[in-house]
Amino acid sequence: MAERKTRLLHRLHQLPPGEAYPLQVVLWHLGDALWLGVQGESYSLLQTELRRRFPDKIILIATIAADWGASYLSPRDLYGTGIYQETIAVVAAGSLEQLIEAISSRMT
């Protein structure tokens, strides 16, 4: 637990000021395919939801692109359950869903 708290202090020290976390996302349109690079480690909801919304697109997703950054991006309903990913996340509940909405708006 001490090692986890030391890592948390390191992550918190690196947080930018303000209410928002500037998560890095890169989206390339290459023919019929969409290539997506996302900072942090997103749950598979990111992939499954984007593929559900855009069934006619080939979507390739690389997480932990650039660096780990925001750590885990868990679905909103997993916050408050005490799982490891929630305890070390530096972003709030709903961040993954906001990410999905932001990416979806750029994919159309």
Question: Coil, strand or helix: which one is 78?
Answer: helix
Query: Are the CB atoms for 70 and 89 separated by under 8 Å?
Result: yes
Q: Quick one: pLDDT at residue 12?
A: 79
pLDDT given at position 68:
65
Q: pTM for this one?
A: 0.84
What per-residue confidence (pLDDT) applies to 67?
67
Pure H helices in the chain: 2-13, 45-53, 84-88, 95-107
Average pLDDT over residues 52-59: 95
Rounded CA separation 88/91 (Å): 9
**Quick check: 11 pLDDT over 80?**
no
